[in-house]
């Protein structure tokens, strides 16, 4: 899967703050329905399996360096990580 280099950096950098962003999101959206769209099992998986570093290890630059290529085995994890980093950044 090819991903824009800037988008990849944004997701990976935001993933470093995933646990903190989760706590801020839950505190801010305590009574709203937005907190219901989170699946705790997916977030636990991202944090416990250290998915951020696994994706970094399975990614490489494209020939011209303008995009990042992620191996097929890590695409699903990247999309899950992107989903939660986008949710947390939009709400904060």
Q: How many CA atoms lie within 13 A of 41 on its CB side?
A: 0
Q: Long-range contacts for 50-54 (Cβ within 8 Å, ≥24 apart)?
A: 51/15, 51/77, 51/80, 51/81, 52/12, 52/15, 52/16, 52/18, 52/81
* pLDDT, averaged in runs of 10, over the chain (92 residues): 95 94 87 74 93 95 93 95 92 72
Domain boundaries, the chain: 2-91
Please report the pLDDT score of residue 72 as a whole number. Answer: 93
């Amino acid at each position: 899967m090819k991903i824009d280099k800037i988008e990849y950096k944004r997701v990976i950098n935001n993933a470093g703050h995933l646990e903190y962003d989760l706590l801020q999101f839950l505190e801010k959206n305590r009574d709203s329905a937005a907190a219901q769209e989170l699946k705790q099992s997916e977030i636990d998986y991202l944090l416990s399996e250290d998915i951020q570093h696994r994706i970094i290890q399975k990614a490489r630059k494209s020939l011209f360096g303008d995009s990042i290529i992620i191996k097929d085995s890590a695409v699903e994890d990247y999309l899950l990580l992107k989903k939660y980093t986008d949710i947390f950044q939009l709400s904060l």
